[in-house]
Structure 1
Amino acid sequence: MFDVALETAPAPEAPVSQVVVTGARLPPSAGEGAFAITTLDDPAWARSPRLDEQLARAPGVSLFRRTSSLAANPTTQGLSLRAIAPSGAGRALITLDGVPQNDPFGGWVIWSGLPAETIQSVRLVRGAGAQAYGAGALTGVVALVGRDGGAPVLEAGVEAGGLGYRRAAVNAGSGGLLASVTAERSDGWTPVREGRGETDEALALDTWSAALRYDTRLSSGPAMAARVAVYDENRRSGLVGADARSRGAQASLTLAQSPAQGRNGWRLQAWTLLSDLQNRSVAVGAGRAFTTPANDQFETPAYGYGFNAALRGVRGPLEWEIGADFRAAEGETHERFRYMSGQFTRLREAGGQTTTLGAYADASWTAGPWLVTGDLRLDHWRAFDARRREFDLQAGAAILDETPAGRSTTTPTGRVGLRRDLGLGFVRTAAYAGFRPPSLNELHRPFRVGNDVTEANAALKPERLYGVEAGAGLEGEGASVSVTLFINRLQDPVANVTIGQGPAIFPTAGFIPAGGVLRQRQNVGRIDAVGVELEGRADLGERLVLTGAVMATEAEVDGGSEAPQLTGKRPAQAPRLAASAGLEWRASERLGLFLAARHEGARFDDDLNTRRLAAATTLNLSARYSVSASTRLEIDLRNAFDAAVSTGRTGDGITSYDAPRSLRVGVVYVR
């Protein structure tokens, strides 16, 4: 909201050595120039305060479902790259200045806690990330760079519009301190259109967040950054009686010194995350005339913490880095279920702990136009203290008491890459391996959406991804283009596998009503994916900029003996094609006009490929007018053609849709 510059397109795989570091962080390693990396500067997402909406303009970047975080349930806000196999837990690692932002219990990301005004730049690393990224960086990394506390600043903005939307944000700082506060509300829209009943209501949002950051440089030279942040969001989930509340806080402390010839650089960082989720779901009655409480997840306390350390040196053409990191997560869900005779009759407690300890070594060699790089990682993952207990609330007796045995695994991963600069262009190739341990949520907590139930699985194994890719790019005066071809194999992917249809009674899961489906999270053999990514930019004169990006992925499941019914199917929520285009016109010194279009091919809402979601194309239009040097007016027309974007489909054929057309108007003050 606060950015006053025009939107800029991602610079295709720019040499990472050009990045200037001002805060307490190491610069990107020289070796990353051999991988598929896109850097987004601040203007690139200023058209929307929701970071996930702007990241979705890059090809293959999406939440689990098509709905953005403005309306998505917290448990479906995990981010995935390359459309290999999207997941509610997310198969990409999200970091803010090196601190993981994925929820310690579920792996998803609460985007309300990451307002765009607090972000300076974003680096999208596609392909499995080893090196310092480690566990969770399966399909890639979204490395967020936070705004540093620096020169005195005061920024304030308000915005309001259709669907009962209103938002206010303030950034204020001086002397190294930067304070940020945001509040946002939306009355939302009712996602069900055809077949709508008394059960259906709007997807509404009420959220706020606050962050305080302090940056300084110590007398000995290293930079220090300390950050604390909190968020709180309340949602209505589109059905009468279904809602969610997520709350959280985090704190981090970082010390870092950049390397130079003859002087090693280093980083020390410690962090902690706290979160809690309340989530109520309902069963939908006949004719969508009524809902019945199905589950009341009234508390999900989770705690994550970790540290990392790195030492980097530069000796002529050689850059090297060694490091280690540790992450721990513990959490437990408390929920009431089995609603009978006007009350819940069962209580569930389920959770556990996980730890990941990793170490890595990285080296790159630059000789003229050549760059050769490689790194190796070793991670030890452990799951322990697991339990799932269920009680009869009337009798007080335990009806289920499971304590799965602890498990551990040691996983080697790594990356190698080669790049050759060609004056006005480059060619590169890379190979990599990565892994993602299952989240506590996947291991221990079942969930319900309408009449569909998905069971947990404490025996899940970590997912592993292996891939190779090749890329090339050209950059001339006012124009650039890059292309990447990739082949990936995802081994032991966690999928929601259909194991029963309602109406029926099943062990552990209990009764599944008519039209409902019973699934279980399972490791299902492998997913093979072949794809291509294309990005480009052209300056059409001094005032006009055209950007575009396309991603096409052909992915197929081999369910193996575990799930042969999935063999030959496409992963759920994985479109074959995604494309975006942007047009920016500086009509005058005061007026900027923007067009952003996005197309996504058809996808399936289920593992058996029976619930097809049609292709969709949306267009957003924006205008920015500077009233004075410090004040700007903003107008945004979202989904200008009122496209019907299907986001989900139930077993009985009811389709949900994303937001209809809406208009927003805002005022921004910057001093």
Structure 2
Amino acid sequence: MADTHYLAGRLARSSAPRAMAFALMAALAPHVAHAEEADGAAIIVTGHGLEQTPGTPAYSTVELDRTQITASASGRAEDVLSSVAGFQQFRRSDSRSSNPSAQGVTLRALGGNATSRALVLLDGVPMADPFFGYVPYPALVPETLSRIRVTRGGGSGPFGLGSLSGTIELESAGPDELGLISADALVDQRGETQVSGSVAPRLGGGFAVITGRWDRGEGFWTTPKDQRVAASVQARYESWSTGARIVAPLTSDIELQSRLLVFRDDRTLRFAGADSASEGEDASIRLVGRGDWQFDALGYVQVRNFSNVVISSSNFLKSLDQYKTPSSGLGGKFELRPPVGEGRSLRLGVDWRRASGTMKERAYFTSGPNVGKVREQHEAGGVNSDVGFYADGDVTVGPLVLTGGLRADRTRQAGGYYQVLDPAGTVTSRTDYATQSDWTVTWRGGALVHLGSIAALRAAAYTGLRQPTLNELYRPFTVFPVVTRANAALTAEKLRGFEAGIDLTPMEGVQITATAFDNRIRDAIANVTIGTNLRERQNVDRLRSRGIELGAHAATGPLRFDGSLTWTDAEVRNGAASPLTGMLPSQTPKFAASGTLGVVPAKGWEVAATLRHVGKQYEDDLQTDVLPAATTLDMVARVPLVAGASLTLRAENLFNEEIVTRNSGGTIDLGTPRTLWAGLHFTM
């Protein structure tokens, strides 16, 4: 009894996500350990959501299996996703050498700013930061994943408000993929380390999974040698994450899933003192029913924080300290799939999300008699919310599958403000912004025709919606010397698009896909140049992207090949008088390709090489600063040693290609140089 009271007291003092998740896990433990059918047979659960409906392939969909996910030379989620045609981060740099707030993700060249235009889900839960909209990549550990499904194009299903350019669904692995105990430890030639592990016991008819990962290093030089000064430093980083999942059967066709994720990520970029930190605690509860009346009920909570110090590139003194950006996200969904007869499916659902946050920062004197002292303080924040109702259905008639969906969203922006305070904390000016709310209806529809077992033709059309983030609405920022203003008058982005494609299976083990698309965003939010070293977030008239996506997979005997290619013609339209009209969206390449060749020469052996090319991009909206094309080669090898243990060798950017990730008037940042890893993997 004393132990119970002690645990209850600790939980009461914990943050909300941890308290909720640990309390639920404690309650689930007896069910997991003793869940058996009446006849004594164990109930086997999946830990996943409901299966996709027959109409899903009508939309351009790509799936990465565990073999592809674990073949990354860097062991990072953004590197894994780069093999998908159309996937794009705001910058080329990965999560070791970029500012976390720039880690937005989009698809189909529909980028141009650092906010995500694609919806990223982990076990059904949105992962984007509630304030900024970036994706916390260090918290998404590839070796803990079972499958990744990427659907390109606007969507009207659950959490469809965020899927303007598509949806990326990550599903966690269970005991079958992880084994009871799994561990990895690697070190590179610079002394950086990467350590991860998992424990995944089966408990009755369910299971539990506990995972952890820790990355640290002094990093590489992002600053070219001829631009380094005394204040220049390597891109130091340290990140860790830990997670726990329990999946328990309640009946023969209903399972309860609980997940907790805690992470922290610290980085130093370019100059000594230019430190950033992001941290979070996420918890979710999910109830999945697979009977005649299928259902998926989900609730989640996120607690996040971000801080960032800006160092002047002229005198290398601290100019801005964004010392705190606490934010929280709450949400949930309920989806029902009633039995509607053979050859039909129907999904009815409602989801809700609420994001709130506050930015707090101090601006410093960088010259004059008060150098180093606080000049003024800034605060900004607000609350965004959305409730959406959706219906999605399929009808199968012989080789033809028809699919369609409708979604209605009630969006609301409230409590927005920006205020300036003097060094003592007295408010000197404040602006409060009016509440905005609206109803928007979006839709999608498609058709899929199976031409025997060799080919399938598909076509789809859709619309989409994205609400501006709190960051875009209320927080100005500086990437010295460029200042970008916020804009509380921003309106939601609206997408309209269509596509057509073919999926070929000419022989066993070979799949080839081709998709042509045309997507347009009206009122696209962009960072628009309005003066020397001054930009503002504005809605531009239209962002159009059209292009071709190709994919290929072939597996025969010990050999396997996975490839992708995308060509896009993207441009901004903002009226005949605007200098933006006809320009590429910033950070957007026209051409990108990736190919991975893998071989398993003997049992336990694995060798894979990935060749990747990214075409020329532009840093800014006016196409004045070029990011040259880059081609890299990565390699991964695993060699068995003794039972359960193997040697792991990895090589990133083997030929040491120079990758320019930022070019601001000739001031350059570079991406990952040649990096060689060696370590051990153990599983049982």
Give the TM-score taking structure 2 as reference length. 0.89
2:539 is matched by which residue type in structure 1? Answer: N
Q: Deviations over 1:29-55 (max 9, x none)?
A: 222121000111111121232111110
Q: What's the counterpart of residue 522 of structure 2?
A: 491
The aligned runs of 1:492-571 (5 Å cut-off) are 492-501=523-532, 517-539=533-555, 541-560=556-575, 564-571=578-585
Distance 2:603 2:278 in 1: 43
Compared CA separation, residues 86 and 98, structure 1 to 2 (3 A): farther
Q: What's the counterpart of residue 184 of structure 1?
A: 215
Which of 297, 300, 304 pairs up with 1:268? 297
1:573 is matched by which residue type in structure 2? Answer: Q
Q: What's the counterpart of residue 125 of structure 1?
A: 151
Distance 1:98 1:589 in 2: 35
Compared CA separation, residues 322 and 590, structure 1 to 2 (3 A): closer
Given that 1:249 and 1:275 are in contact with CA atoms closer than 8 Å, whether structure 2 keeps it comes out as yes
The count of corresponding residues between Structure 1 and Structure 2 is 626
Which of 442, 455, 459 pairs up with 1:413? 442
Q: Deviations over 1:593-636 (max 9, x none)?
A: 21101001100000001011101000001211111331111101
Are 1:666 and 2:682 counterparts? no
2:286 is matched by which residue type in structure 1? Answer: T
Are 1:206 and 2:238 counterparts? yes
1:343 is matched by which residue type in structure 2? Answer: K
Which of 87, 101, 106 pairs up with 2:132? 106
Distance 1:130 1:646 in 2: 37
- Tell me, what secondary structure is at the counterpart of 2:56? helix
Q: Deviations over 1:291-330 (max 9, x none)?
A: 1212101110001001100001341011001000000010
Q: What's the counterpart of residue 42 of structure 1?
A: 66
Q: What's the counterpart of residue 102 of structure 2?
A: 76
Are 1:91 and 2:117 counterparts? yes
Given that 1:84 and 1:553 are in contact with CA atoms closer than 8 Å, whether structure 2 keeps it comes out as no
Compared CA separation, residues 220 and 548, structure 1 to 2 (3 A): closer
| Cα deviation, residue 149, structure 1 | 6.0
Are 1:161 and 2:188 counterparts? yes
Are 1:477 and 2:493 counterparts? no
Q: What's the counterpart of residue 422 of structure 1?
A: 451
Distance 2:254 2:149 in 1: 23
2:358 is matched by which residue type in structure 1? Answer: E
Distance 1:53 1:658 in 2: 13
Distance 2:476 2:191 in 1: 33
Given that 2:96 and 2:267 are in contact with CA atoms closer than 8 Å, whether structure 1 keeps it comes out as no
Given that 1:483 and 1:535 are in contact with CA atoms closer than 8 Å, whether structure 2 keeps it comes out as yes
- Tell me, what secondary structure is at the counterpart of 1:284? coil
Distance 2:320 2:539 in 1: 26
Q: Deviations over 1:431-469 (max 9, x none)?
A: 011111011111111111121111111111111111000
The aligned runs of 1:247-326 (5 Å cut-off) are 247-259=279-291, 263-285=292-314, 290-314=315-339, 315-326=341-352
1:309 is matched by which residue type in structure 2? Answer: F
Given that 1:241 and 1:291 are in contact with CA atoms closer than 8 Å, whether structure 2 keeps it comes out as no
2:180 is matched by which residue type in structure 1? Answer: V
Distance 1:440 1:339 in 2: 27
Distance 1:282 1:570 in 2: 30
Q: What's the counterpart of residue 605 of structure 1?
A: 619
The aligned runs of 1:383-402 (5 Å cut-off) are 383-393=413-423, 396-402=425-431
Given that 1:638 and 1:662 are in contact with CA atoms closer than 8 Å, whether structure 2 keeps it comes out as yes
Which moved further from structure 2: 83-92 or 211-220?
83-92
Distance 1:85 1:162 in 2: 35
Compared CA separation, residues 404 and 198, structure 1 to 2 (3 A): same
Q: Deviations over 1:234-260 (max 9, x none)?
A: 10012222110111000000001125x
| Cα deviation, residue 21, structure 1 | 8.0
- Tell me, what secondary structure is at the counterpart of 1:232? strand
Structure 2 portions without partners, runs of 5+: 1-43
Q: What's the counterpart of residue 12 of structure 1?
A: none
- Tell me, what secondary structure is at the counterpart of 2:434? coil
Distance 1:654 1:281 in 2: 16
Are 1:404 and 2:433 counterparts? yes
1:611 is matched by which residue type in structure 2? Answer: D
| Cα deviation, residue 217, structure 1 | 0.7
2:336 is matched by which residue type in structure 1? Answer: L
Distance 1:277 1:530 in 2: 35
Distance 1:356 1:619 in 2: 43
Given that 1:24 and 1:223 are in contact with CA atoms closer than 8 Å, whether structure 2 keeps it comes out as no
| Identical-residue share of aligned pairs (%) | 34
Q: What's the counterpart of residue 364 of structure 1?
A: 394
| Cα deviation, residue 400, structure 1 | 2.4
- Tell me, what secondary structure is at the counterpart of 1:27? coil
Which moved further from structure 2: 118-127 or 155-164?
155-164
Q: Deviations over 1:406-449 (max 9, x none)?
A: 11121111110000011211000000111110111111111111
Q: Deviations over 1:144-199 (max 9, x none)?
A: 11124679711111011133320111100222111111111121112121422223
Q: Deviations over 1:216-275 (max 9, x none)?
A: 11036311100111001110012222110111000000001125xxx1101111000110
Q: Deviations over 1:79-117 (max 9, x none)?
A: 111122243111101011211000011110111111112
Which of 257, 260, 264 pairs up with 1:228? 260
Distance 1:628 1:240 in 2: 45
Q: Deviations over 1:358-391 (max 9, x none)?
A: 0001110011111000000000110001111111
Given that 1:164 and 1:188 are in contact with CA atoms closer than 8 Å, whether structure 2 keeps it comes out as no
Are 1:245 and 2:277 counterparts? yes
Given that 2:48 and 2:171 are in contact with CA atoms closer than 8 Å, whether structure 1 keeps it comes out as no
1:36 is matched by which residue type in structure 2? Answer: S
Given that 1:250 and 1:271 are in contact with CA atoms closer than 8 Å, whether structure 2 keeps it comes out as yes
Given that 2:159 and 2:351 are in contact with CA atoms closer than 8 Å, whether structure 1 keeps it comes out as no
Q: What's the counterpart of residue 17 of structure 1?
A: none
- Greater percentage in helix: 2
Q: What's the counterpart of residue 438 of structure 1?
A: 468
1:484 is matched by which residue type in structure 2? Answer: T
| Cα deviation, residue 588, structure 1 | 2.5
Q: What's the counterpart of residue 506 of structure 1?
A: none
| Cα deviation, residue 537, structure 1 | 2.0
Q: Deviations over 1:549-598 (max 9, x none)?
A: 1000001101238x812111110011000001111122222432211010
Q: Deviations over 1:328-362 (max 9, x none)?
A: 01000010014242212111110000100000011
- Tell me, what secondary structure is at the counterpart of 2:219? coil
Q: What's the counterpart of residue 56 of structure 2?
A: 32
Give the alignment's Cα RMSD to 1 decimal.
1.6
Given that 2:93 and 2:661 are in contact with CA atoms closer than 8 Å, whether structure 1 keeps it comes out as yes
Given that 2:83 and 2:563 are in contact with CA atoms closer than 8 Å, whether structure 1 keeps it comes out as no
Distance 1:278 1:578 in 2: 33
Compared CA separation, residues 41 and 202, structure 1 to 2 (3 A): same
2:491 is matched by which residue type in structure 1? Answer: K
The aligned runs of 1:640-651 (5 Å cut-off) are 640-651=654-665
Q: What's the counterpart of residue 23 of structure 2?
A: none
Q: What's the counterpart of residue 250 of structure 2?
A: 218
Distance 1:385 1:337 in 2: 24
Distance 1:454 1:357 in 2: 30
Given that 1:623 and 1:636 are in contact with CA atoms closer than 8 Å, whether structure 2 keeps it comes out as yes
Q: What's the counterpart of residue 25 of structure 2?
A: none
Distance 2:608 2:331 in 1: 41
Distance 1:538 1:267 in 2: 35
